A and B are shown apart, each in its own frame.
Chain A
Amino acid sequence: DQQVKQNSPSLSVQEGRISILNCDYTNSMFDYFLWYKKYPAEGPTFLISISSIKDKNEDGRFTVFLNKSAKHLSLHIVPSQPGDSAVYFCAAGYQGGSEKLVFGKGTKLTVNP
Protein backbone atom coordinates (compact mmCIF):
# COMPACT_ATOMS: atom_id res chain seq x y z
CA ASP A 1 0.00 0.00 0.00
CA GLN A 2 1.72 3.13 -1.24
CA GLN A 3 0.58 5.91 1.06
CA VAL A 4 2.62 8.63 -0.64
CA LYS A 5 2.67 8.68 -4.41
CA GLN A 6 4.72 10.65 -6.87
CA ASN A 7 3.24 9.62 -10.17
CA SER A 8 5.73 11.39 -12.41
CA PRO A 9 9.09 9.63 -12.36
CA SER A 10 10.71 12.45 -14.30
CA LEU A 11 10.22 16.08 -15.29
CA SER A 12 12.19 18.27 -17.68
CA VAL A 13 11.99 22.08 -17.73
CA GLN A 14 13.91 24.98 -19.20
CA GLU A 15 16.08 27.20 -17.06
CA GLY A 16 14.15 30.19 -15.77
CA ARG A 17 10.75 28.51 -16.07
CA ILE A 18 8.62 27.09 -13.28
CA SER A 19 9.03 23.49 -12.11
CA ILE A 20 6.00 21.88 -10.52
CA LEU A 21 6.42 18.57 -8.73
CA ASN A 22 3.34 16.76 -7.51
CA CYS A 23 2.61 14.37 -4.69
CA ASP A 24 -0.57 12.58 -3.59
CA TYR A 25 -1.25 10.82 -0.33
CA THR A 26 -3.90 8.44 0.90
CA ASN A 27 -3.59 8.52 4.69
CA SER A 28 -5.78 11.30 6.11
CA MET A 29 -3.86 11.11 9.40
CA PHE A 30 -0.77 12.71 7.85
CA ASP A 31 -0.33 16.16 9.34
CA TYR A 32 3.14 17.14 8.22
CA PHE A 33 4.65 17.06 4.76
CA LEU A 34 8.20 17.54 3.56
CA TRP A 35 10.20 17.75 0.36
CA TYR A 36 13.72 16.43 0.09
CA LYS A 37 16.24 16.92 -2.69
CA LYS A 38 18.75 14.22 -3.54
CA TYR A 39 21.80 14.26 -5.76
CA PRO A 40 23.28 10.95 -7.01
CA ALA A 41 25.36 9.05 -4.45
CA GLU A 42 24.44 11.51 -1.69
CA GLY A 43 21.94 11.53 1.14
CA PRO A 44 18.69 13.50 0.71
CA THR A 45 18.70 17.11 1.87
CA PHE A 46 15.70 18.64 3.60
CA LEU A 47 14.21 21.36 1.42
CA ILE A 48 10.91 22.63 2.74
CA SER A 49 7.97 21.46 4.83
CA ILE A 50 4.35 22.31 5.54
CA SER A 51 2.02 21.56 8.38
CA SER A 52 -1.55 20.47 7.71
CA ILE A 53 -2.84 23.65 9.33
CA LYS A 54 -1.41 25.66 6.44
CA ASP A 55 -2.03 25.55 2.72
CA LYS A 56 1.13 27.30 1.59
CA ASN A 57 4.72 27.68 2.72
CA GLU A 58 7.35 29.66 0.90
CA ASP A 59 11.13 29.73 1.16
CA GLY A 60 12.92 31.73 -1.49
CA ARG A 61 12.41 30.11 -4.86
CA PHE A 62 10.58 27.15 -3.33
CA THR A 63 6.89 27.08 -2.45
CA VAL A 64 4.88 24.10 -1.24
CA PHE A 65 1.11 24.05 -1.63
CA LEU A 66 -1.17 21.69 0.29
CA ASN A 67 -4.71 20.78 -0.73
CA LYS A 68 -6.05 18.62 2.08
CA SER A 69 -9.41 17.94 0.51
CA ALA A 70 -7.67 16.51 -2.54
CA LYS A 71 -4.88 14.93 -0.48
CA HIS A 72 -2.42 16.59 -2.81
CA LEU A 73 0.66 18.70 -2.41
CA SER A 74 2.98 20.31 -4.89
CA LEU A 75 6.39 21.91 -4.90
CA HIS A 76 6.93 24.95 -7.11
CA ILE A 77 10.43 26.09 -8.02
CA VAL A 78 10.61 29.53 -9.60
CA PRO A 79 12.79 30.28 -11.44
CA SER A 80 14.30 26.87 -12.10
CA GLN A 81 18.08 26.65 -12.28
CA PRO A 82 20.35 23.90 -13.65
CA GLY A 83 21.60 23.26 -10.10
CA ASP A 84 18.06 22.24 -9.17
CA SER A 85 18.47 19.10 -11.27
CA ALA A 86 18.08 16.27 -8.77
CA VAL A 87 15.59 13.70 -7.51
CA TYR A 88 12.88 15.20 -5.33
CA PHE A 89 11.16 13.11 -2.68
CA CYS A 90 7.87 13.91 -1.06
CA ALA A 91 7.43 12.62 2.51
CA ALA A 92 4.68 12.64 5.11
CA GLY A 93 4.30 11.95 8.82
CA TYR A 94 1.74 12.20 11.61
CA GLN A 95 1.53 12.49 15.37
CA GLY A 96 1.25 9.04 16.78
CA GLY A 97 3.28 7.73 13.89
CA SER A 98 6.38 7.49 16.07
CA GLU A 99 7.95 10.38 14.19
CA LYS A 100 8.46 8.22 11.14
CA LEU A 101 8.20 9.45 7.60
CA VAL A 102 6.68 7.76 4.59
CA PHE A 103 8.45 8.64 1.36
CA GLY A 104 7.30 8.68 -2.23
CA LYS A 105 9.40 7.10 -4.95
CA GLY A 106 10.76 10.41 -6.14
CA THR A 107 10.66 12.57 -9.26
CA LYS A 108 13.82 13.23 -11.22
CA LEU A 109 13.92 16.89 -12.23
CA THR A 110 16.16 18.00 -15.09
CA VAL A 111 16.58 21.72 -15.68
CA ASN A 112 18.01 22.40 -19.12
CA PRO A 113 20.19 25.50 -19.67
Chain B
Amino acid sequence: SQTIHQWPATLVQPVGSPLSLECTVEGTSNPNLYWYRQAAGRGLQLLFYSVGIGQISSEVPQNLSASRPQDRQFILSSKKLLLSDSGFYLCAWSVPGYRPYEQYFGPGTRLTVT
Protein backbone atom coordinates (compact mmCIF):
# COMPACT_ATOMS: atom_id res chain seq x y z
CA SER B 1 0.00 0.00 0.00
CA GLN B 2 1.02 3.58 -0.51
CA THR B 3 2.20 5.81 2.31
CA ILE B 4 3.35 9.38 2.49
CA HIS B 5 5.76 10.80 5.03
CA GLN B 6 6.44 14.37 6.01
CA TRP B 7 8.94 15.74 8.45
CA PRO B 8 9.35 17.41 10.74
CA ALA B 9 5.89 17.39 12.32
CA THR B 10 6.42 20.77 13.97
CA LEU B 11 8.99 23.48 13.47
CA VAL B 12 9.64 26.85 15.09
CA GLN B 13 12.01 29.07 13.15
CA PRO B 14 13.09 32.71 13.51
CA VAL B 15 12.43 35.25 10.80
CA GLY B 16 15.21 35.25 8.23
CA SER B 17 16.25 31.65 8.79
CA PRO B 18 16.20 29.01 6.03
CA LEU B 19 13.61 26.27 5.69
CA SER B 20 13.60 22.75 4.34
CA LEU B 21 10.55 20.48 4.57
CA GLU B 22 10.69 17.01 3.11
CA CYS B 23 8.04 14.70 1.77
CA THR B 24 8.46 11.14 0.51
CA VAL B 25 5.97 8.72 -0.95
CA GLU B 26 6.24 4.95 -0.84
CA GLY B 27 4.48 2.25 -2.80
CA THR B 28 3.89 4.09 -6.05
CA SER B 29 5.93 5.26 -9.03
CA ASN B 30 5.92 8.58 -10.87
CA PRO B 31 3.23 10.18 -8.72
CA ASN B 32 2.07 13.74 -9.09
CA LEU B 33 3.23 15.61 -6.00
CA TYR B 34 1.79 18.73 -4.41
CA TRP B 35 2.64 21.21 -1.64
CA TYR B 36 -0.24 23.04 0.06
CA ARG B 37 -0.40 25.54 2.87
CA GLN B 38 -3.27 26.04 5.26
CA ALA B 39 -2.99 29.39 7.01
CA ALA B 40 -5.02 30.11 10.13
CA GLY B 41 -8.71 30.41 9.28
CA ARG B 42 -8.17 29.76 5.60
CA GLY B 43 -8.55 26.89 3.19
CA LEU B 44 -5.91 24.85 1.42
CA GLN B 45 -3.77 26.89 -0.92
CA LEU B 46 -1.81 25.04 -3.59
CA LEU B 47 1.79 26.24 -3.60
CA PHE B 48 3.61 23.89 -6.00
CA TYR B 49 2.95 20.75 -7.97
CA SER B 50 5.19 18.38 -9.86
CA VAL B 51 4.49 15.80 -12.56
CA GLY B 52 8.02 14.41 -12.64
CA ILE B 53 11.63 14.72 -11.49
CA GLY B 54 12.84 18.28 -11.86
CA GLN B 55 9.43 19.47 -13.11
CA ILE B 56 7.98 22.06 -10.76
CA SER B 57 5.08 24.43 -11.32
CA SER B 58 4.51 27.33 -8.97
CA GLU B 59 1.01 28.47 -8.25
CA VAL B 60 1.58 31.49 -6.07
CA PRO B 61 4.50 33.95 -6.18
CA GLN B 62 6.08 33.81 -2.77
CA ASN B 63 9.10 33.38 -0.61
CA LEU B 64 9.20 29.63 -1.13
CA SER B 65 10.61 27.19 -3.68
CA ALA B 66 10.22 23.48 -4.33
CA SER B 67 12.39 20.76 -5.76
CA ARG B 68 11.93 17.14 -6.76
CA PRO B 69 15.35 15.51 -6.77
CA GLN B 70 13.98 11.97 -6.89
CA ASP B 71 10.77 10.41 -8.20
CA ARG B 72 9.11 10.12 -4.81
CA GLN B 73 10.77 12.97 -2.95
CA PHE B 74 9.44 16.51 -2.80
CA ILE B 75 11.16 19.31 -0.89
CA LEU B 76 9.85 22.73 0.10
CA SER B 77 12.47 25.37 0.83
CA SER B 78 13.03 28.97 1.69
CA LYS B 79 16.24 30.97 1.97
CA LYS B 80 14.79 33.51 4.41
CA LEU B 81 11.53 32.91 6.27
CA LEU B 82 8.95 35.64 6.77
CA LEU B 83 6.35 35.85 9.53
CA SER B 84 3.68 35.31 6.87
CA ASP B 85 5.18 31.90 6.07
CA SER B 86 3.69 30.48 9.26
CA GLY B 87 1.08 27.83 8.66
CA PHE B 88 0.33 24.16 8.25
CA TYR B 89 2.16 22.67 5.26
CA LEU B 90 0.79 19.61 3.56
CA CYS B 91 2.28 17.35 0.94
CA ALA B 92 -0.01 15.27 -1.26
CA TRP B 93 0.28 12.77 -4.08
CA SER B 94 -1.95 11.40 -6.80
CA VAL B 95 -1.73 8.78 -9.54
CA PRO B 96 -1.54 10.61 -12.86
CA GLY B 97 -4.20 9.62 -15.35
CA TYR B 98 -6.03 7.29 -12.97
CA ARG B 99 -8.63 9.00 -10.82
CA PRO B 100 -6.20 11.92 -11.01
CA TYR B 101 -8.17 14.22 -8.80
CA GLU B 102 -7.99 11.97 -5.78
CA GLN B 103 -5.08 13.37 -3.87
CA TYR B 104 -3.77 11.75 -0.71
CA PHE B 105 -2.26 13.90 1.97
CA GLY B 106 0.57 13.50 4.41
CA PRO B 107 0.31 14.31 8.13
CA GLY B 108 1.53 17.88 7.66
CA THR B 109 4.14 20.16 9.22
CA ARG B 110 3.16 22.95 11.58
CA LEU B 111 5.57 25.84 10.92
CA THR B 112 5.70 28.81 13.27
CA VAL B 113 7.93 31.70 12.28
CA THR B 114 8.82 33.92 15.24
Interface string of A75-108 (1 = CB under 8 A from B): 0000000000000010101000011111111100
Q: Which residues of chain B come closer than 8 Å to A43, judged between CB atoms?
A: 90, 92, 105-108
Shortest B87–chain A CB gap in Å is: 13
| Interface size of A in residues (CB-CB distance below 8 Å) | 23
**B49 contacts A98, C-beta separation under 8 Å:** yes
CA distance A98 to B85 in the complex (A): 26
CA distance A45 to B104 in the complex (A): 7
Shortest A68–chain B CB gap in Å is: 17
B16 interfacial contact with A, CB 8 Å: no
Closest partner residue, chain B, to A40 (CB atom):
B88
Which interface residue of A43, A89, A101, A103 has the most chain B CB atoms within 10 A? A43
Q: Which residues of chain A come closer than 8 Å to B32, judged between CB atoms?
A: 99
Interface string of B82-109 (1 = CB under 8 A from A): 0000001010101010011111111110
Q: Which residues of chain B come closer than 8 Å to A98, judged between CB atoms?
A: 49, 51, 57
**B102 contacts A105, C-beta separation under 8 Å:** no
What 6 pairs between A and B have smallest CB-CB spacing? Answer: A43-B105, A105-B43, A99-B100, A103-B44, A93-B101, A32-B101
Q: Which residues of B contact A (CB under 8 A)?
A: 32, 34, 36, 42-46, 49, 51, 57, 59, 88, 90, 92, 94, 96, 99-108, 110
Additional A-B contacts beyond A41-B108, A46-B103, A106-B43 (19; CB < 8 A) = A41-B110, A42-B107, A42-B108, A43-B90, A43-B92, A43-B105, A44-B44, A44-B105, A46-B102, A49-B99, A91-B44, A98-B51, A99-B49, A99-B101, A100-B49, A101-B101, A102-B46, A103-B36, A104-B43
Closest partner residue, chain A, to B4 (CB atom):
A43
Q: Which residues of chain B come closer than 8 Å to A36, judged between CB atoms?
A: 105
A21 interfacial contact with B, CB 8 Å: no
List 7 contacting pairs A-B, 8 Å CB cutoff, sorted by A. A91-B44, A93-B101, A99-B51, A99-B96, A100-B46, A100-B59, A103-B45
**B105 contacts A34, C-beta separation under 8 Å:** no
